[in-house]
Amino acid sequence: MGINWLTVAEFEQMLGRAGRLKKHEKGLAYLLVEPGKVYSPKMKITEENIAIKLLGGKIKDYELIPDDYKSQTEILAFISMFNQRVPKENIFQFYDHLINNNFDLKDVLKKLMTSNLIRIKEDSTIKVTHLGRAVAKSFLSVDESLEIIEKLQNKSESPLDIALDLESLRNVYLSKNIVAGLSKNINMRYFSNNLFSASVLSLMNAEYVRKRKTFSRDFIDFITKLTSEIFNCNCKDNPYCDCAQLNLEKLILNLRVKENMKIEEISNYLAEEYKILIFKGDLIDYLENLIYSLESIQNIAEGIPNLDEKYKIEADKIPNLIKNIKY
């Protein structure tokens, strides 16, 4: 039965695969056991007793872990479905039909009102605010949206930087030539070829690499270029901060929007100029997700009252930016 004993749910799942859909009227499953068999001295139950428990056992009820922000997101989405005020009893009826209704609905409504996402009227009807509807349209959770609202109101990050932070580019790899050169100096068994892995980041020090005479000139040039153009921030945690990833994402966006490069051209440019590989499919997925993030930021920015004029102008530019990404 493998390293761990099967649960009843896993066993039932396996049984359900017996027979072929629309080919057989019933499926047959056989359970082969060795009476009295134990696999270790610590094992207190024999194999046939385990089999009997699986055959006669019941699947445990699925339990959802309570999550305050998910509950707020779900209730806000329901309220946002209505253009007019929603009677409070309708929300309680919706709550009663939820599978994961193990939360205090009154407390959730109070938190949504405190965050200015809903308004509760004197007649006990509830209406979503302009900001609340914007959050619901963004398809982000309430906690993510509140964090974005705070950044926009405090002017700590631009709308574009916030969007780039929402969906990071992860699948970035070293070129085959760089990996081949590294294999001569480093035990590749414990080395990842992902650019943002800890093992690669530990080499992002041009002075250190130059002092190591074993590294090839190509590899030294590779590290020098990356540290001067990508890993070039003054953060205390450099190169382990997120700045390099943000710089690379901005570079890809500029190549797409300002240089009007096709996906394949971007992939080839990064391989030639920086010796890094990003597959075309990963670039497409990243840019598509970036579009969704930008649309979410725009919706939220439009719902914030008294937003700084500079940020309003940046948010108004998002539709044109999306158009250029899609071109």
Model-level pTM greater than 0.85?
no
Element holding 249 (H helix, E strand): helix 243-257
Q: What pLDDT, on a 0 to 100 scale, did the predictor assign at position 271?
A: 93
Closest CA to 131 of 110, 120, 116: 116
Q: What is the mean pLDDT of the chain?
A: 88
- Same domain as 23, residue 101: no
Residue 167 lies in a domain: no
Q: What pLDDT, on a 0 to 100 scale, did the predictor assign at position 124?
A: 87
Q: What is the pLDDT of residues 86-131, one digit of tens each?
A: 999 999 999 999 888 889 999 999 999 999 999 998 888 999 999 9
| Per-residue tokens: 55 | 């055959």
- Same domain as 294, residue 177: yes
Residue 3 lies in a domain: no
Question: What is the DSSP code (8-state) at residue 179?
Answer: H
- Mean pLDDT value of segment 25-30: 82
Give the residue, 186 or 5, on which the prediction is more confident.
Answer: 5
- Same domain as 37, residue 15: yes
- Same domain as 273, residue 231: yes
Q: How confident is the model at residue 219 (pLDDT cuts 50, 70, 90)?
A: confident
- Mean pLDDT value of segment 202-222: 77
| Per-residue tokens: 198 | 């800890």
Q: What pLDDT, on a 0 to 100 scale, did the predictor assign at position 251?
A: 96
- Same domain as 269, residue 244: yes
The Cα angle at residue 225 between residues 219 and 231, in degrees rounded to 5:
110
CA–CA separation, 322 and 327 (whole Å): 9
Give the relative orientation of helices 280-303 and 263-274 as an angle to the nearest 10 degrees: 110
CA–CA separation, 20 and 14 (whole Å): 13
Residue 61 lies in a domain: no
Residue 280 lies in a domain: yes
**Residue 266 lies in domain:** 173-326
Q: How confident is the model at residue 186 (pLDDT cuts 50, 70, 90)?
A: low
CA–CA separation, 65 and 103 (whole Å): 10
- Same domain as 24, residue 106: no
Residue 46 lies in a domain: yes
- Same domain as 256, residue 121: no
Among the candidates 18, 35, 56, a domain finishes at: 56
Number of domains, the chain: 3
